[in-house]
Each structure stands twice: as C-alpha cells, then as structure tokens.
Amino acid sequence: MTNIAHKLRVAENLRLTSRTWKMVLEADHEGIITAPGQFVNLEVEGKFLRRPISVCGVDGRRITLLYDVVGEGTYEMSQWPVGYVADVLAPLGNGFDPSRSGDSPLLLGGGIGVAPLYQLARELVALGRRPVVILGFNTADDVVWEEEFRQAGAEVYVATVDGSRGTKGFVTDVPACTDPARTYFYACGPLPMLRALSDSMPIGGELSLEARMACGFGVCMCCVVQTADGPKGICKKGPVFRKEELIWK
Amino acid sequence: MEMNVNATAAPARDLSVTLSGVRLQNPVIPASGCFGFGYVMAEYYDIDCLGSISIKGTTLNSRFGNPLPRTAECPAGMINSVGLQNPGVDKVVEVELPKLREVFHQPIVANISGFSVDEYVEACRRIDGAEQVGIIELNVSCPNVHGGGMSFGTSCESVAEVTRAVKAVTTKPLYVKLSPNVTDIVSIARAAEDAGADGLCLINTLLGMRIDVKTRRPVVANVMGGFSGPAIFPVAVRMVYQVSKACSIPVMGCGGVSSARDVIEMMMAGATAVQVGAANLRDPYACPKIIKALPEEMERLGIDRLSDIIGCV
C-alpha cells in the first residue's frame, strides 16, 4: 500500500516565459517520485478537480515542475507564494522505462511536454547512455529548459514552428531525429505530434499522453486511450505507452 | 493507513446497518463510477474499512464509452460523460470481481446498466451468481448514453417493466438507482417498489453542461454530462426524504456526500446506507476519512447507534 496524499511546501515558483512557470515543491522525505515521467495532481483552491502536472526533475526532497498558465487553475497555482503548503497526490502514473533506451535514445519534447523528459535524460546519462534531445516550441520566446538538458549531459537541438530559433518546423524536421544511429525514442507533447511520431518513427519508442483528467489515479475512466489490449486509463496505466500499444483513431 | 474505526470510541458506537438482510459494518459505500472495480484503490489504503463498494456500471457487452474530453467542473462539483465504459459482464465476473475479492472481503453492490430490457435481464442474471455480490443495483439513470440508461428511468412504465423482468431472474436483493432528471421522483420510486424492487438508490447525476467561452464549444465532447459533487447534496437530501417517506423499502442515499456530517444528514433524511461519489475523485481518502470521523460526529450529536437515526426527520 502506498500513501499518495502529501503536503508539499512551495520552495520556488518563478515565471520562465510568457506562459511557462517553474515550481519547486519540497517534501519532508525523499522517494515520493519513483520513476521519470510520473506526474502529481495538485489541489487548487476554488476548483473541484485537481491539476495534473508532470514531474520535470527530482533532487532529493525537491520536486521540480514546469507548467503553462492556460486557465484559472494554473493561474491560481502561479500565485502560490514560497512557503505555501500544497495538497499533492503523488506518485501518479507509470513513467518512462529507461532500460529500453539502447545506446543513443532520442528524447522528443513539444512545448510543455519537454518537462518529464528532463528527469529521464538525467537517468539515462547516469546509466551511461548518450541521449539526444530535441525540443520543439512555437517560437523562440517559448523556449525553456534547453540549458538544463545540456548541463545534464544530453546533446540538445531546438526547433521552432516559426523558425525564430533553431530548425524551422517540428521536432521531426531536425536531422538528428532521423539519424539511423538512434536506438529508441521517448516523446511527450501535443497529441498531433505524438501521433505523427507514432506513424513515422521506424524505431521503437514510448509516448507520454495528456488528457483532461478527473481523478488522476485510475478509477473514474475520464481519461482513456484505445490500446491493443483494450481501453486503458491514461492516468493509471499511462501516461506513458509503448508505440505499438496505442491504437490511434 | 490505520483503519480501526471503533478503536478510539468508548463506548463503541454501532455504525452497522442492514440493507435487505445484507449487513454492512458501516453505511459508507463508494458510488458506482467513482471507484472503478475497487481493487485499484486497495493500492492506496485498506479498503476493507468500507461498508460496501458499488462497482463501475456494467453492461452485457463491453463498451469503450464516449469520446474525450469526458469531464468538466465548477467550484462545487464536476461533470462526467464516461458513457458506461466497461469490459462487459462476463469479464467483470471472470476478471474484475476475483481481483476485488482478494482485497475486499464483504458483499458488494453490482451496478448494472443496459440498452434494452433483455440486456438488463441477461447482465443481471450473469452477475447474480457471483458469490460476493450482495446487492444488484439496477442503473436506470445513466445520463450519458443514448437509448439506454436514463431513458429507462424517466417513465414509471419502463422502470416497472425492467424491474419486474430483472427481479424474475435474480436471487439477490434488487435496488433500483433512480435519476433526479424527472418531474416527480416519488411516482418513479413507487413504480419500482410496486414492481418488486427490494430497495432504491438515489440520486444519480443531474444532467449538466459547461461551455468553453474561448472556443465557444462544450467542454465535454458529448456536450452534456452528469453533474455531481457537493453542489447537488441538497437536491439529493430532498429527494431521499421525499422517496423514503413515500416508500417502505430501504434507500441508499447518494449525491454530493463529502463528510461524516453529510452521511448523518442523509440518513436522517431516510437513507439506510450512503454512497460517496465525486468526493473520492478529489480526495482518494475521502471514504476512510468519513468512516474515521463518524464515531466522533455521533458522539457529538448523541447518537449511539447509527441505524437509530434513519428517517428520523
């Protein structure tokens, strides 16, 4: 049995770009997050449902999140001062499997989907792998976490839809994405990006899905995806699925 | 999580209730659709502290359910439009119930829905034989499917027809789960009772809708959905009160219950047992917290035996 209810203290809450914020939550003990790619579900005052947010990094008792302010709930989160005690469900979701990566895996992030790839990159480097990270954004002003990935020891490329930074286009337009030396891929981003990768990538991989959730821990069936093994809850059986599991409609 | 509900109360307060001969150690039952098939929740706490569990709405055949998004919210509640996603009654009996049985050792409530009288009958017949099923809950009130669910629960004739047909092929107590989306819930409740129902469960969700004002589109893909949560609690209390005064069969009260005090209020309105729905989705520990708080709340209100207050208003 795992207690998934925690009170975590906000240690940092900073605006990084016009839309993206970084929040560091501090626990009184280590080990709450057990795999890269898991998420937390945050209670927000005035909202009945929680806000599910991917874990970007884990450093001892500190859990780092990146989040976009897209509505009232995430706006409310952006107003939490340092010292605010958040009601948090964690760990949620399965997470990525670093053991499948091979020597030189690709990590493909779109927008705020770059967040969960960071802890994965660090764990891959620790395992002696050489991760190649491609970060895709709409425009140069949206680019986040590029330097952090580089400092973690990854080879990093950036693509922007408007060409204002790095390769013009999507992550798939970066030549490193189609390099035959790549052994496996891990991706997180908007559904159209994940679907395109699922259809086009010749190598095996894992995709982290996003959906509007109610519970976040596998009982309400509000977030589901069709898989080869029947419908599965994204929050509990995912958010990470292997490419061959998913059936896109 | 430590869950010995009577350990701290001296003298021990009696939380037990009986529904048509099925004894529950306490009246708290997670509502259908808010607890899956139960065993997932056993990863988070010892679910044997619960009175019973109403399983995810089950149909004769497997269903994927509605397109996503399936949920929306407001400050005091939420909308769902899952659309009865479930693996079908045979898989439920062969796969899901045995998994639940490993972690929950008390009678369960089997929530069954359908799209024709024959489907209800066949699904109920197949789950009736499962030993751990204590009560069958006939769901004639799901608002999220077309041509089934709620359409059976909005006329006295169809409620009576499906109740009578299912009663003829089942051995377990049959509780009919009623929709609040009707003009006169008392007449529907009476129709179920007259057709042989052993009990009633109310209320299912209220039909609701939210619109994304930026995109000018409904938030939920299926446009409308079932509205639940604390906002509907007064509606549920009112309907449980009306129905329990008019009928002589036991009622499971459901709708917006989120605290021990809510449980007591619902029982005073006439409920013998109380289902907890949306509260589980916001706080996975909602039910054990309620059960733990019940003896303290009883002490404060001078209640020795919870069953004494049923319908006391």
Q: Are residues A186 and A142 in the same domain?
A: yes
> Between A43, A214, A219, which is nearest B71 by CB?
A214
Residues of B labelled catalytic? 142
CATH of residue A162's domain is: 3.40.50.80
| pTM for this prediction | 0.95
* Set of chain A residues whose Cβ sits within 8 Å of the Cβ of B276: none
Residue of A nearest to B103 (CA): A1
Is residue A187 included in any domain, yes or no? yes
Closest residue to A222, CB basis, from B1, B42, B70 = B70
User: What pLDDT band is residue B2 in, cutting at 50, 70 and 90?
Assistant: very low
| Mean pLDDT for the stretch of residues A164-180 | 96
Nearest CA in chain B to A220: B34
Q: Assess whether A80 and A137 both reside in one domain.
A: no
Co-location of A118 and A26 in the same domain: no
Residues of A in contact with B284 (CB under 8 A): 4-5, 89, 215, 217
Q: Where are the domains of chain B?
A: 17-66+85-207+227-309
Contact criterion met (CB < 8 Å) for A1 and B42: yes
CATH number assigned to the domain comprising residue A61? 2.40.30.10
Q: Is residue A214 part of a domain?
A: no
Substitution target in B34, B46, B70, B211 with the highest count of A β-carbons within 10 Å is: B70
Residues of chain B with C-beta less than 8 angstroms from the C-beta of A236: 40
Place of tokens 């997932």: B40
Predicted confidence (pLDDT) at residue A52 exceeds the cutoff of 80: yes
Is the predicted pLDDT of residue B274 greater than 70, yes or no? yes
pLDDT at B143: 79
Query: Distance from B294 to chain A by nearest Cα, in Å?
Result: 21
| Shared-domain flag, residues A79 and A118 | no
Say whether B68 and A217 touch across the interface (CB within 8 A).
no
Q: Which residue in chain A has the smallest CA separation from B64? A: A231
Query: What is the mean pLDDT of the segment spanning B7-22?
Result: 82
Q: Does B186 touch chain A (CB under 8 A)?
A: no
Contact of B44 with chain A, judged by CB distance below 8 Å, is answered with yes
| Co-location of A126 and A193 in the same domain | yes
Q: Total domain count for chain A?
A: 2
Shared-domain flag, residues A63 and A107:
no
Q: What does each C-alpha distance from B268 to B51, B273, B306 come to in angstroms? A: 18, 11, 10
Tell whether A66 is covered by a domain.
yes
Contact residues, chain B, for A46 at CB < 8 Å = 75
Q: A17 and A80: one domain?
A: yes
Asked if residue A10 is part of any domain, the answer here is yes
Query: How far is it, in rounded angstroms, from Cα A44 to Cα B22?
Result: 40
Q: Helices marked H in chain A — which ranges?
A: 72-78, 115-126, 146-151, 191-200
Instruction: For residues A115 and A88, state if they share a domain.
Output: no
pLDDT at position B11: 61
* DSSP secondary structure of B64-110: --SPSP-EEEETTEEEE-----B--HHHIIIIIHHHHHHH--S-EEE
Asked if A184 and A119 sit in the same domain, the reply is: yes
Contact criterion met (CB < 8 Å) for A48 and B229: yes
- Which chain A residues contact residue B113 at CB under 8 A? none
Q: Does B147 touch chain A (CB under 8 A)?
A: no
**Residue A236 Cα, gap to closest chain B Cα (Å):** 9
Q: What is the CA radius of gyration of chain A?
A: 17
Question: For A195-201, what is the mean pLDDT?
Answer: 94
Of the three residues A187, A208, A229, the one that is the final residue of a domain is A208
- Residues B229-266 pLDDT 10s: 999 999 999 999 999 999 999 999 999 999 999 999 99
Same structural domain, A53 and A83: yes
Same-domain check for residues A112 and A199: yes
CATH code, B17-66+85-207+227-309: 3.20.20.70
Answer with the one of A70, A92, A114 that is the final residue of a domain: A92
Of A77, A92, A107, the position where a domain reaches its end is A92
Q: Is residue A240 a part of any domain in this protein?
A: no
pLDDT digits (tens, 9 = 90+) for B131-172: 999 999 999 988 777 777 777 889 999 999 999 999 999 999
pLDDT of B87 reads: 97
**Based on the domain organization, do A55 and A119 belong to the same domain?**
no
B64/A220 Cβ within 8 A: no
Domain span holding position A138: 98-208
Distance from chain centroid for Cα B168: 23
Residue A249 has a pLDDT of 77
For residue range A235-246, what is the model confidence (pLDDT) as tens digits? 999 999 999 999
Q: How close is the nearest chain A Cα to the Cα of B97, in Å?
A: 15
Mean pLDDT computed over every residue of chain B: 95
**Any bridge partners for residue A26, and if so which?**
A9, A62
Of A2, A214, A231, the CB nearest to B281: A214
Partner-chain residue, chosen from B34, B78, B285, that has the shortest CB–CB distance to A48: B78
* Beta strands at A62-68 and A132-137: parallel, antiparallel or unpaired: unpaired
Cβ contact A215–B44 (<8 Å): no
| pLDDT of the residue at B152 | 86
Mean per-residue pLDDT over chain A, rounded? 97
Q: Are B277 and B254 in contact (CB under 8 A)?
A: yes
Express each pLDDT in B171-230 by its tens digit.
999 999 999 999 999 999 999 999 999 999 999 999 999 999 999 999 999 999 999 999
Residues from chain A contacting residue B34 (CB–CB below 8 Å): 219-220
Q: Taking a C-beta distance cutoff of 8 angstroms, is the pair A55, A123 a contact? A: no
ipTM metric: 0.95
Cβ contacts below 8 Å, chain A against chain B, sum to 97
